Amino acid sequence: MINKGLVGALWATPANFLDKKIQIVSPRKISLLVSPIASPWETDVSNRSFFLTTTALISVLGLSTASFAADLYIEGEPAIPTVLPAVSGVNGKISVEGGVFDEEGFGALSGSISLPLGHRFGVQIDGSVGTLDEEFFGSAGGHLFLRDPSYGLLGVYGSFTAIDGIDGEVSRIGVEAEYYWNQITLKGVAGAEFVDIDAPISYDETNFFAFTDLSYYAMDDLELSVGHRYTGEKHALALGIEYQLNQQVFSSGVSLFAEGRIGEDEYQGAWAGVRMYLGDNKSLIRRHREDDPTDWAEDNLFGIVNSSECFPTFSEVGDGEFLNSCTGKESGFSGID
């Protein structure tokens, strides 16, 4: 931006001063004509005029420089880095899935809701219900975390899962972390699990557990993952895929997913399902980093199954009697005698 005052001041520099007619407005409105040859009185007045003009020039230069600097600051002000909130806003997800756990039929309905706690913290509550070989199970979990969506997550995780048939339950408490780098996410949770099973034999133990995943987003809406699971004192390889469908077709985010476990003994399984995201429309990678942490419900269930030496099934033998496949005993109801 060109300052007109600065141009005018430069035109009236001392080099041009003696050859120019300069109008100095005073209360008396005195006009002076300065020439190369001047009388003492005129020279004195000229010197005074020169002094006043030079002083004015310096003042104008100072003000113009300050104005120019201010313009530079306003126009070129650097952008202040913006840290996204730990949770972009209230959001949730609901999924329906089915498959097999150790050759037994499995089906579940799961849901989560995530809430921001100020700018840097967030909380998520998980819940799921379903059946495993016609036995009812339920699970609840919670995450409390600090997160920068451009860098990673650090928090605590807790859960409780129970299943009928073996009258078993497992509780967990651990530390959860995620790290984001371009299209890669490394995430996991580890801590203590407390297993309590009453049938077919009593089992009450405290063990270490650890779940980890390395995810690669081949596209912003396609996640491929490989990981490791350790629960119920058994190891397994974890595989997964999730693809979010075109959001121009579906008003909210809808994805298809599938997971598998290949591990020791009965730590085997595969399942698939549909997941609906509730919240702003965004890519899958942004949902996972800006909204909801992972729900570990299926592996919580495996913690009970792995810890049990036998998962019972019941077959009717007549007259309202059922045979327990683990104990070999008959009972008058499809439960543990």
Q: 268-320 pLDDT, tens per residue? A: 899 999 999 998 889 999 999 999 899 998 888 887 777 665 555 666 766 66
Q: 235-245 pLDDT, tens per residue? A: 999 999 999 99
Residue matched to tokens 């003492």: 40
Instruction: Please list the helix, strand and coil fractions of the chain in percent, rounded to the nearest 5, in that order.
Output: 20, 50, 35
Greater confidence, 32 or 180? 180
Predicted local distance difference test score (pLDDT) of residue 214: 98
Same domain, 105 and 21: no
Q: 80-107 pLDDT, tens per residue? A: 557 889 999 999 999 999 999 878 899 9
Burial class (CB in 10 A: 0-12, 13-18, 19+), 155: buried
Examine the fold and report which residue of 29, 46, 75 is the final residue of a domain before the chain moves on.
75
Tell me if the bond preceding 200 is cis, omega within 30° of 0. Answer: yes
Predicted local distance difference test score (pLDDT) of residue 180: 97
Res 258 pLDDT > 90: yes
- Which domain CATH number covers 255? 2.40.160.40
Residue 320 belongs to a domain: no
Res 34 pLDDT > 80: no
Same domain, 175 and 220: yes
Same domain, 24 and 167: no
Mean pLDDT of the 226-239 span: 93
Same domain, 58 and 172: no
Same domain, 63 and 113: no
Res 68 pLDDT > 50: no
Residue 231 belongs to a domain: yes
Quick check: pTM over 0.85?
no
Same domain, 34 and 169: no
3-state secondary structure (DSSP) of residue 220: coil
Q: What is the DSSP letter of 281?
A: -
Same domain, 56 and 102: no
Same domain, 132 and 29: no
Dihedral angle computed from the Cα positions of residues 63, 67, 72 and 78, in that order, rounded to the nearest 10 degrees: 110
Same domain, 14 and 154: no
Provide the domain count of the chain: 2
Predicted local distance difference test score (pLDDT) of residue 198: 73
The candidate with the shortest Cα–Cα distance to 193, out of 93, 77, 299, 62, is 299
Going across the sheet that includes 314-318, the strands are: 314-318, 321-324, 330-331
Domain residues for the domain of 279 are: 91-307
Same domain, 298 and 170: yes
